[in-house]
Amino acid sequence: MEKQLKRMATMQRLQTAGLELFYQKGYYNTSIDDILKELSLSKGAFYYHFQSKEEFFISIVQNLLFRKIYSALIEPIEGEEDPLNKIVLCFDNALETAEHNFLDYGFVLSNFITEFNGKNPDIMNYLQDILKVWEVNLVTALQKGKTDGFVSRHIDSEAVATYLISSYIGVRTLMVEGNSKILRYKYIQQLRQYFKSMEYKEPA
């Protein structure tokens, strides 16, 4: 019993430290030794729990990253009425997290997509699956908004979802500079402006 617990604990410590370093320094630029140094563990420990660096990373993506993105960017919108306002709030929250230099997992995802693009198709698939779930959820929320009378019926939900994810990923890329507070303000302001044209208007 105690062994089981220890196993889980070590694996999770490795994954947590791994995600942090992979995000900060990039996957290829982070050595397994870097992660092990952080936790005062040895190579043997690592290769006892994981088959390879790649398999280790994939386990992080599926266990840690996916869950975090789901709870931060997908779940808060799911099933809610008035999706447009909800999306603005949700994005604003996520950007505030980023502003305080905590891990914003939406950005972590786009970072990894950039890094692995054209280099590791296997890992790319896992990353893109998360994007897909995010996109599908946005589309569903927008469509539900139409039937609930919050969103104008003439909009192309898929195109809007794509545009939303694009702008979010983009602004997070820009926020690395430091003046992230003003960037967030500008972004949310323009997001509202963009949404104005697609709010449902009471027919005359």
Partner DNA sequence: GTATTGGCCAACTAGTTGGTTGGTTTGGTG
Partner DNA sequence: CACCAAACCAACCAACTAGTTGGCCAATAC
Q: Could you tell me how many residues of this chain bind DNA (CB under 7 A)?
A: 24
Sign of CA dihedral 198, 83, 142, 192: positive
| Shortest distance, position 18 Cβ to a second copy, whole Å | 17
Contact range with DNA by CB under 7 A, out of 50-58, 95-103, 108-116, 128-136: 50-58
Write the burial class of residue 102 (CB in 10 Å: 0-12 exposed, 13-18 middle, 19+ buried): exposed
Instruction: Name the residue nearer to a second copy (CB basis): 11 or 138.
Output: 138
Q: Could you say which residues in the range 138-197 bind a second copy, by CB under 8 A?
A: 156, 158-160, 162-163, 165-171, 173-174, 176-177, 183, 186-187, 189-191, 193-194, 196-197
Contact letters (x/-) for DNA, 9-48, by CB under 7 A? -x-------------------xxxxx-----xxxxxx-xx
What residue ranges bind a second copy (CB under 8 A)? 24-26, 28-29, 110-111, 113-115, 117-119, 124, 128, 131, 156, 158-160, 162-163, 165-171, 173-174, 176-177, 183, 186-187, 189-191, 193-194, 196-198
What residue ranges bind DNA (CB under 7 A)? 1-4, 6-7, 10, 30-34, 40-45, 47-49, 52-54
